[in-house]
Structure 1
Amino acid sequence: MNRKSLLILIIFSVICQWSFSRANDSYDFVVSKNGDGDFTTVQAAINAVPDFRKQTTTIYIENGVYKEKLVLPASKTKVTFIGESADSTIITYDDYASKKNRFGEEMGTTGSSGFYIFGNDFTAKNITFRNTAGPVGQAVAIRVVGDRVFFENCRFLGFQDTLYPYGENSRQYYKNCYIEGTVDFIFGWSTAVFDHCHIFCKSPGYVTAASTMKDTPFGFVFLHCDISGSAPAHSVYLGRPWRPYAKTAFIECKLSDVIKPEGWFNWNKKEAEKTVTYVEYKNTGAGATPDKRVSWSHQMTVKERQKYTLENIFRGWTPGQPFKEKHR
């Protein structure tokens, strides 16, 4: 090796070390598959977060496929994941509801999740969360229990039951995200806003299956979203009620022709037609057919639309800003 080549190699090595040092300065932990970070697995980084830390712990995750069944415990609060890129930073698993555990018991829908989020104030940006079990029934990519959870520029991939906003008192915000699935692929109890998201329907089915509690004012709210897919025309419902007081709103969304003209299905629960809140406002596209919707859904007025602000929906939480708790 001549002196010039050696000098270039040394300079390159110094730059790489400097870049990694800067990354470590910017983030509390770095996860890297090739061993250049603090940890090689995401779960190890989670485990290293001090319990109930008052400051945010930021974990940078380099590109790679991380096949892990993750748990963010309730004691790990104010944790932020930053992926290197949404397409190439991938957290994945492949469990499904009918899969047997070591005792020969079915895992169930909850047991199928690849990532359990119990900690409050969790944020994730630029990451793909996926379940690769395929069309084998319920197979959850992510199950969210914690409150004040924020996803930005993330991707959620799966088939049935992809995304499970579970916590009945949980508030969740999804901004500029991509969510795909087949049947009930956004389902659960939580209050969740999907803002400028792309919802992709892979085959005939149902986008949502809300199970909103009776006294919860808002369930699933879709704002300025694009609903499309590879499903045949007129083969997908906007939602069906998992529980009688399901609440779902599609507001100023673009609905492709995959959406059925009637829009909503009662899940063969005639009584639920009296209790659900299925509303729309100024949707556009071939799937926006207000004159053909079921009679028990509702097209909102301007005044009714004004209630659907982030301030009203989230009740004291502003996504992206630190939440100030009242301490005794």
Structure 2
Amino acid sequence: MTLVRGDLINIVLITVDQSGKGDFQRIQDAIDAVPSQNSEQIFVYFNSPGIYKEQVVVPEDKPWITMSGTNETTTIITWSGPWHTLQNTTVSILASDFVGRNLTIQNTYGPGIQAVALSVFGDRVAFYNCRIFSYQDTLFDTSGRHYYSNCFIQGATDFIYGDALSLFHECYIHSISENGGAITAHKRSSVDENTGYSFVSCNITGIKPNSVILGRPWGPYSRIIYAYTSMTNAILPEGWNDWNNTTRQSTSYYGEYMCYGPGATSSKRVKWSHQLTSDEAKPFLTKDMINGDEWLRAVPTQFKKPSFPLKPEK
């Protein structure tokens, strides 16, 4: 079966409910029940609000899964712990063609060490109306093409980082740094690598004035764009940092286009950042950046019961 973007009917529905009124009480049990090498769209729906204290892994061999809560403020996946391995996060998406909707994903470990809430490895992954919370390294946006729409992302240090090609559209980015923490740390390692982060029509806030930078280069060819984005006075006037490696000033690509607010003032920006022209900004402004029209899909409208057993695979 070949799935296409327009498939909105005959989606397999699996329900999760802590009270026992769904197919599963635990999220991971629902994911485990999906057959390996799945070729159908699977909609994992949370029947009612709840706080799910567990780690969730969507493995690479289980594509085409959507996880959807009822409301992003009341459907919460939470865990508390430091980052030691690539999968040691609250939620890890290793599969392609995954969608997350109306969820809070958080790691409550706090400051002192990396504590990832969400890691995304798969290609063609989208999140809508989600809240993602931690302190250091909140979102490991590591590889593939990704789309974040109307999401709230909070952290203090490098809290959106990795080497994906990702579009953040109408997202709310909130820093809890008090001393110049970076929002982004992108790891593009070659000028030929088509990766980068673009923030379009977003809002950026912080807990105090002059406490946040827009990004710093984890890799030598780090690429970050902010366009049509509101920036409060939490943004430091220089805007960007070279992470104590001046050679990366000439290879990183940091641009801003038509941003506004007190934090968007360009007069004191580092000289190696760019105030983009319309032609320079154009490739980073729409879903074309991630070929989104080929794979982003709407909320399904009709569902069917699964043909596979509602129990985890052994």
Q: Is 1:49 matched with 2:34?
A: yes
Q: Is the 8 A contact 1:27 1:60 kept in 2?
A: no
| Superposition TM-score, scaled by structure 2 size | 0.87
Q: What's the RMSD between the two structures over aligned residues?
A: 1.7
Which residue of the partner structure matches residue 184 of structure 1?
Answer: 158
Residues of 1 paired with 2:166 and 2:160: CA distance? 10
Number of equivalences? 285
- How far apart, CA to CA, are the structure 2 residues paired with 1:202 and 1:175? 21
Structural mapping, 1:173-322, within 5 Å: 173-204=147-178, 205-214=181-190, 215-230=192-207, 232-315=208-291, 317-320=294-297
Aligned to 2:137: 161
Structure with the higher helix share, 1 or 2: 1
The structure having more radius of gyration, on CA atoms, is 1
1:95 paired residue number: 81
CA contact (8 A) 1:96 1:136 kept: no
Counterpart in 1 of 2:124? 148
Alpha-carbon distance in structure 2 between the residues aligned to 1:112 and 1:159 = 15
Percent identity of the aligned residues? 38
Alpha-carbon offset, residue 93 of structure 1: 0.9
How far does the alpha carbon of each residue in 1:15-58 deviate from its partner, in whole angstroms, 9 at most, with x for none? xxxxxxxxxx9861110011010000000000111222222100
2: CA distance between counterparts of 1:268 and 1:114?
31
Where does the alignment leave 5 or more consecutive residues of structure 2 unmatched?
1-9, 300-314
Q: How does 1:77-116 map to 2 (within 5 A)?
A: 77-97=63-83, 107=84, 110=86, 112-116=88-92
What is the CA-CA distance between 1:173 and the residue it aligns to? 0.2
Gaps of 5+ in 1: 1-24, 98-106, 323-328
* Residues 87 and 119 in structure 2, CA contact (< 8 A), matched pair in contact too: no
**Post-superposition offset of 1:290:** 1.2
Tell me what 2:58 maps to. 72
TM-score by length of 1: 0.83
Q: Deviations over 1:194-244 (max 9, x none)?
A: 1000000112311000002322234010000000021x2111000000110
Return the alpha-carbon distance in structure 1 between the equivalents of residues 286 and 39 of structure 2: 25
**Are the structure 2 counterparts of residues 249 and 136 from structure 1 closer, same or farther at C-alpha, using a change threshold of 3 Å?**
same
Q: Following TM superposition, by how much is the alpha carbon of 1:269 offset from its aligned partner in structure 2, in angstroms?
A: 0.6
**Contact residue 31 and residue 45 of structure 1 kept, 8 A:** yes
Match of 1:138 in 2: 114
Q: Secondary structure at the match of 1:139?
A: coil
Runs of 4+ in 1 over 6 A off after TM superposition: none
Post-superposition offset of 1:111: 5.2
Q: What is the deviation of 1:142?
A: 0.8
Q: Deviations over 1:261-290 (max 9, x none)?
A: 000000001000010010000100010011
- Of 244-253 and 61-70, the range deviating more from structure 2: 61-70
Matched residue SS, 1:203? coil
Query: Secondary structure at the residue paired with 2:183?
Result: strand
Higher alpha-carbon deviation: 216-225 or 144-153: 216-225
